[in-house]
Amino acid sequence: MKGPIAMQSGPKPLFRRMSSLVGPTQSFFMRESKTLGAVQIMNGLFHIALGGLLMIPAGIYAPICVTVWYPLWGGIMYIISGSLLAATEKNSRKCLVKGKMIMN
């Protein structure tokens, strides 16, 4: 082929050098942190939504998880953790990496 289309090269894969201490599972999680962050955010939203169903009064006694409002703050923790994971993929500042490690 001739012309500018033939001159363009295809997308080059980005290979990051991983330490020898990092196993294949850990390197997968390091590469796919944006996707895992999105999954954690969705888990947090489901946690809040299904926890809201638990909060509907069903009788005199309420489950202990409802009395301490676990469905709400548990879902918020998932959302914060997923947001930190997704943000670290784009901008890996030291404070984001520390926050990601603490939350996970």
pLDDT averaged over 10-residue windows placed end to end, the chain, 104 residues: 59 56 70 85 93 81 81 92 86 82 80
The pLDDT of residue 29 is: 67
pTM higher than 0.75 for the full model?
no
Distances (CA, A) of 98 to 20, 21, 54, 93, 102: 21, 19, 34, 9, 6
- The pLDDT score that the predictor gives to residue 58 is 74
The pLDDT of residue 40 is: 92
**What are the angstrom distances between the C-alpha of 80 and each of 27, 36, 44, 99?**
22, 13, 9, 10
Is 68 exposed, middle or buried, given 0-12, 13-18 or 19+ CB atoms closer than 10 A?
exposed
| Domains of the chain, residue spans | 25-103
What pLDDT, on the 0 to 100 scale, is given for residue 98? 84
